[in-house]
Amino acid sequence: MPEKPYDHIQLELKWHERWENATFYKAEENSAKPKFYVLEMLPYPSGTLHIGHIRNYSIGDALARYKWMRGFNVLHPMGWDAFGLPAENAAIANKVPPRQWTVQNIAAMKKTHRRFAFSYDWDREVSTCEPEYYRWNQWFFLKMLERGLAYRKRALVNWCNKCATVLANEQVVDGCCWRHDDTPVEQRALEQWFLKITHYADALLDDMAQLEGGWPERVLTMQRNWIGRSEGTEVDFHLEGAGTPIRVFTTRVDTIYGATCVILAPEHPLNETLLDPALKAQAKAMVDGRAGRDPGDIDKEGLFTGHYAINPYSGEKVPIWIANFVLMGYGTGAIMAVPAHDERDFEFCRKYAITIRPVIRPVDGALAVEPGMTECFPDYGVVENSGEWSGLPSAEARRKMSAFAEQQGFGKAAITFRIKDWGISRQRYWGTPIPVIHCTACGVVPVPETQLPVILPDRIEITGTGRSPLENVPEFVNAACPQCGQPARRETDTMDTFMDSSWYFYRYCDPHNSTLPFDPAKIAYWFEIDQYIGGVEHAILHLIYSRFFTKMMRDIGLITNNEPARRLFTQGMVIAEGVKMSKSKGNVVGADMLAEKFGADTARMFVLFAAPPEKEVDWRWEGAEGIYRFLGRVYRFVTRNLPAQERSGEADRNVLRKLHQTLRKITEDFESRWHFNTCIASIMELVNLLYAEEQSISATAMAQVLQTLALMLAPFAPYLAQEIWEELGHEGPVFRQTWPVFDADLAKEDGAEIVVQVNGKVRSRITAPFGTPQPELQAQALADEKVKPFLEGKQIVKVILVPDKLLNIVVKP
């Protein structure tokens, strides 16, 4: 048959229509097959998919299709992280209600999704802004409230005056609001709802052992740092005279005899009673002065309070200072300064001429001498000049001195975490309403479960100024107290949208359940997620919240797994012609643009081909043309060889060998490292060989090759693979066929090609049967015309053989 031109538009359109109502991406409910849950991070419905999304989904899609072909019952769902501030901003800018804006965007993006034919089970689609979904956010909130895992407290939050709202930490850029880069963010004390993630701090840290190997080390390290567990001692320094003692946290209680002052954070509550008005003002200025600034370029500043405290070990009287480098948010908000053994304390005490007293000497050295010290000695060593503790090694002193503090009642061993409880209150409209009611008589009353969901009202005016938009909706705000029935006020804050994404992947398992967030039996079947794929930018926030939710759900008794995902893969970014893509640069490569220019197959295959998936990809249009050419080459070759013609068959062995080598490579890569770039390259090599040998391939071999080629392409280029599958006379979806098995014997070379080196330099190559022993190879090599000149007049020192690979003759003059 004459070859057909590769008309990707017609070809993709044809299958697009035929697949419109296809059911073959549905996960089976009761299956005898082993299950495989592959998940890509759900997108925010901004309105368009870009090349970065396409990369993420192409990786997941290739894996899902491969797993199907390997006989797994695959769950491959998709949804929308549909709440969030951009919808509100759009509402202000374009006067479009957030819901309408969001729903339109989802429709547009779903269309693009379908165009790319990603293999999702759309029946399980989840959109987090729908009451059927967010009611379970509220349900989880109530469960946490019952267990004391959700609580309300006054806390400092980031506040932007121009937005008149709280900002999340990640919306503070260089100390200013992300929307107003001329407006410094203020710290304001507000009543906020918190989730007690710190309750699970140890579990989150310890269970990382289960993730080792399955999650990127980088992500685990980032989480470990974020949780920031540190073991130390809390010690009370009593005030000289009366007053609440100052509790400090230190990891180096062994250095406490070297403590020459106590330093409080400028916002430490004790300052209220300790400071006179003038000093209070200075302390306040200190707090404001460091707000949002890069800690690296803030100079250490402090002031003496005029008060003294007593070191409980030595009985020594030390001055109490306030300094800007002591953080209220960590430990107890107060430290003992040991300038001789801590870099920051050293810098501070030098500046203010506070005594520096060495008390730790290096194990094999002498105690430093002051005055004259130019740097501190922060390492462990041997304790000196410390009363009864002198002579002990640091580690032992830490233990014994902690125990002593506890015995004497002025302190204890303590563990401090860097991670803080998760503040989830947002003074915004487009989010999940927090299901509580404020009653003047009963206080804060949870909305009863039976009254869920608390529906977010649609009729609302968003101006972008003033208070939370919900406060202006009387029919929302005014409610009866569930306890006493008297008129009360509904909470108008909504939840952080990270709530939504913390458990959506559970909902996929049972998306239409109206009595529970999901049926535990279904979770027991599908979980853990076998492969989660997404960007590394979520390493901390989303991925730590998700792990927290999983532990909370386990403790409620809903699930039995400890962790949400067994394996996590973080794909690299996509940049455009060397620079980061961004709306402001106008260089965002949109998915629809791609589909129009080259078709979905080319676009998704190119992002896989351009680099291994964990690396950054540089999008270049010319590069994509190469893939387009390749797909055309495949299609033309297949169509002109149908039906296969009887030819000599001289090349059969060669071609079949290459075929099985290719198959082996792709199979092994899917099972291990996912270097799809080299997988695609090896298919190209195969096709290049087919072009070269076209006239010498028998009909039998040709049929075999074409069929396997279609199957191998199925995970990467589903449209083309399907079209070929049909041209070959088959029915049904190609990606539901069985993945072909490679034949190790067919893949084997006929014999070994052995590189002959002289002093490590390649001089010749010889062929020999596999396993030829050294003496024979050596004889052959020594007789080789290309090798001889390099041996002349030289003495052979030794000969090294790497069996079936290489022979190195070492000579000297």
Work out whether strand 246-250 and strand 230-239 pair parallel, antiparallel, or are unpaired.
Answer: antiparallel
Q: Of these, 465, 486, 688, 738, which contacts RNA (CB under 7 A)?
A: 688
Does residue 747 bind RNA (CB under 7 A)?
no
Are 609 and 627 a contacting pair, CB within 8 Å?
A: yes
Kindly tell me which of 26 and 786 has the beta carbon lying closer to RNA.
786
Cβ proximity to RNA: between 68 and 609 the closer is 609
Give the other-Cβ count within 10 Å of 651's Cβ: 20
Q: How far is the CB of 560 from RNA (least distance, A)?
A: 32
- Per-residue string for binding with RNA, 414-453, x by CB under 7 A? --x-x-----------------------------------
315 belongs to the binding site for RNA (CB under 7 A):
no
Minimum gap (Å) between residue 462 Cβ and RNA = 31
Taking phi over 0 as left and psi of -120 to 50 as alpha, with beta for the rest, 292 belongs to: left
Smallest gap from Cβ 36 to RNA, in A, equals 22
Contacting RNA (CB under 7 A), which of 160, 326, 553, 709?
326
Q: How far apart are CA 487 and CA 440, in angstroms?
A: 9
Query: Minimum distance between the CB of residue 49 and RNA, rounded to whole angstroms?
Result: 21
User: CB–CB of 563/548 below 8 Å?
Assistant: no
Whole-number Cα distances in Å, 610 to 143, 165, 663, 712: 47, 43, 20, 19
Instruction: Select the residue interacting with RNA from 759, 769, 770, 783 (CB under 7 A).
Output: 759
In this chain, which stretch among 215-223, 392-400, 546-554, 699-707 interacts with RNA, using CB under 7 A? Answer: 215-223
How far apart are the C-alpha atoms of 768 and 774, rounded to whole Å?
A: 11
Q: In this complex, which beta carbon is closest to RNA, that of residue 153 or of residue 805?
A: 805
| 399-418 residues near RNA, rule: CB under 7 A | 416, 418
404 neighbors 389 (Cβ within 8 angstroms): no
**Residue whose entry in the numeric block shows the structure tokens 């203020």:** 186
For the segment 508-537, give every residue that binds RNA (CB under 7 A).
536-537
**Residue 359 beta carbon to RNA: minimum distance, rounded to whole angstroms:** 14
User: Which one, 459 or 798, has the nearer CB to RNA?
Assistant: 798
Contact call for residue 37 and RNA (CB under 7 A):
no
Selected range binding RNA among 30-38, 108-116, 269-277, 326-334, rule: CB under 7 A: 326-334
Q: Which of residues 771-790 bind RNA (CB under 7 A)?
A: 786
Closest approach of Cβ 451 to RNA, in Å? 39
Strands 443-446 and 422-423: unpaired
378 is an interface residue for RNA by CB under 7 A = no
Answer yes or no whether residue 610 interacts with RNA by CB under 7 A.
Answer: yes
Query: Does 351 help bind RNA (rule: CB under 7 A)?
Result: no
335 binds RNA (CB under 7 A): yes
Q: How far is the CB of 167 from RNA (least distance, A)?
A: 17
C-beta closer to RNA: residue 142 or 264: 264
Crossing angle of helices 98-116/51-69, nearest 10°?
A: 50
Strand-pair category, 172-173 with 752-758: unpaired
Residues 662-681 that bind RNA (CB under 7 A): 665, 668-669, 672-673, 675, 677-678, 680-681
What burial class does residue 360 get, using C-beta atoms within 10 Å of its C-beta: 0-12 exposed, 13-18 middle, 19+ buried?
A: buried
Q: Which of residues 702-721 bind RNA (CB under 7 A)?
A: none
Spell out the residues 6+ positions from residue 298 whose beta carbon is closer than 8 angstroms to its own: 289, 290, 324, 325
Token pair of 421 as six digits: 């409880």
Tokens found for residue 333: 């908000």
Give, as ranges, the residues between 225 and 284 that touch RNA (CB under 7 A).
225-226, 228, 230, 232, 249-252, 265
Between 47 and 626, CB nearer to RNA: 626
Please state the closest distance from residue 603 (CB atom) to RNA, in A. Answer: 14
Alpha helices in 335-409 (DSSP H): 343-351, 394-408
Q: How far is the CB of 145 from RNA (least distance, A)?
A: 28
748 or 805: CB nearest RNA: 805
Q: Which two tokens stand for residue 422?
A: 């998760």
Dist CA 552 CA 199 (whole Å): 10
Query: Among 446, 431, 428, 429, which Cα is nearest to 490's?
Result: 446
Residue 693 interacting with RNA (CB under 7 A): no
Of these, 221, 407, 700, 738, which contacts RNA (CB under 7 A)? Answer: 221
Q: Which of residues 532-571 bind RNA (CB under 7 A)?
A: 536-537, 540
User: How far apart, in whole angstroms, are the C-alpha atoms of residue 94 and residue 140?
Assistant: 34
Can residue 691 be called a binding residue for RNA (CB under 7 A)? yes
If the CB atoms of residues 305 and 494 are measured against RNA, the closer one turns out to be 305
Figure out which of the listed residues 12, 121, 236, 342 binds RNA, where binding follows CB under 7 A. Answer: 342
Indicate whether 692 belongs to the interface with RNA (CB under 7 A). Answer: yes
Please select the residue that binds RNA; options are 175, 184, 214, 612, rule is CB under 7 A. Answer: 612
Binding segment toward RNA, per CB under 7 A, in 130-138, 311-319, 546-554, 609-617: 609-617
Q: Which stretch binds RNA (CB under 7 A): 127-135, 223-231, 359-367, 560-568?
A: 223-231
- Fill in the per-residue mask, 613 to 632: x = in contact with RNA (CB under 7 A), - = not in contact: --xxxx-x-xx-xxx-xx-x
Instruction: Tell me the C-alpha distance between 124 and 76, whole Å.
Output: 9
CA 766 to chain centre: 50
Q: Which is nearer to RNA, 162 or 615 (CB)?
A: 615
What's the closest the beta carbon of residue 418 comes to RNA, in angstroms? 4
Angle at 618 between CA 592 and CA 222, to 5 degrees: 105
Of residues 31 and 582, the one with the C-beta less far from RNA: 582
Binding mask 115-154 for RNA (x = CB under 7 A): ----------------------------------------
- Buried b / exposed e over 751-786, threshold 16 CB at 10 Å, is ebebbbbbeeeebbebebeeebeeeebbebbeebee
Yes or no: say if 696 and 650 are a contact pair by the CB < 8 Å rule.
Answer: yes
Q: Which H or E element spans position 461?
A: none
Does 331 help bind RNA (rule: CB under 7 A)? yes
The per-type count for the chain, helices as H runs and strands as E runs, is: 25, 34
Q: Toward RNA, which CB reaches closer, 122 or 330? A: 330
Nearer to RNA, 272 or 785 (CB): 785
Min. distance of Cβ 267 from RNA in angstroms?
A: 11
CB 564, CB 529: distance < 8 Å: yes
**3-state secondary structure (DSSP) of residue 617:** strand
State the Rg of the chain over Cα: 34
> What is the distance, to the nearest Å, from the Cα of residue 108 to the centroid of all Cα atoms in its chain?
27
Q: How far apart are CA 766 and CA 807, in angstroms?
A: 10
- As a whole number of angstroms, the distance between CA 809 and CA 787 comes to 10
Q: At closest approach, how far in Å is the CB of 794 from RNA?
A: 13
Cβ-Cβ contacts under 8 Å for 169 (sequence gap 6 or more): 158
Among 2, 295, 371, 474, binds RNA (CB under 7 A): 295
**Alpha carbon distance 380, 370 (integer Å):** 19
Kindly tell me which of 125 and 347 has the beta carbon lying closer to RNA. 347
Q: Are 735 and 86 in contact (CB under 8 A)?
A: no
Total number of residues binding RNA (CB under 7 A)?
Answer: 88
Which residues within the stretch 275-294 sit at the binding site for RNA (CB under 7 A)? 290, 294
The distance from CA 683 to its chain's CA centroid, rounded to whole angstroms, is 31
Region near RNA per CB under 7 A, out of 87-95, 352-360, 519-527, 804-812: 804-812
Q: Which residues, other chains included, contact 509 with Cβ-Cβ below 8 Å and sequence gap of 6+?
A: 75, 124, 518, 519, 522, 523, 525, 526, 527
CB of 250 to RNA, least distance (A): 3
Report the chain's terminal Cα–Cα distance, integer Å.
Answer: 65
